[in-house]
Amino acid sequence: MKKEKEMNQIIRYFEYEHLPLQLQKIAKPICELAQKMEETLPDNAEKSAGLRKLLEAKDAFVRANIVFKIPTFSGGDAKEGESYVIGQESAL
């Protein structure tokens, strides 16, 4: 196992403990995969590129499970300033 200083610096961005439990369930397996690739593959540009792309994927998966609030416009059934919630909560 590599020492912490020797590990690719991008690994720190895969941390998930600060996320709500629902999002940790999404991010944890990706973090584990990133750590496995860091430990297994030789250091080179392709490994760095792969880890960057995996990080982009993790971020997208987490965002896909976040409920967003969008400000409404006047008109329709909503009162001005109200928000609609879009997205759905995952049962992961």
The answer to whether residue 11 sits within a structural domain is yes
What is the pTM assigned to this prediction?
0.67
Radius of gyration for the alpha carbons in the chain, expressed in angstroms and rounded: 18
Q: Which domain holds residue 17?
A: 4-66
Per the structure, the count of domains in the chain is: 1
Sort strands 83-86 and 68-71 into parallel, antiparallel or unpaired.
Answer: antiparallel
The answer to whether residue 21 sits within a structural domain is yes
Pair of tokens at residue 24: 């940790």
The answer to whether residue 77 sits within a structural domain is no
- Angle CA(4)–CA(43)–CA(63) in degrees, nearest 5? 70
The predicted structure's pLDDT at residue 61:
95
The answer to whether residue 81 sits within a structural domain is no
Residue that wins the pLDDT comparison between 73 and 15: 15
Average pLDDT of the chain to the nearest whole number: 80
The predicted structure's pLDDT at residue 67:
72
72: left (phi over 0), alpha (psi -120 to 50) or beta: beta
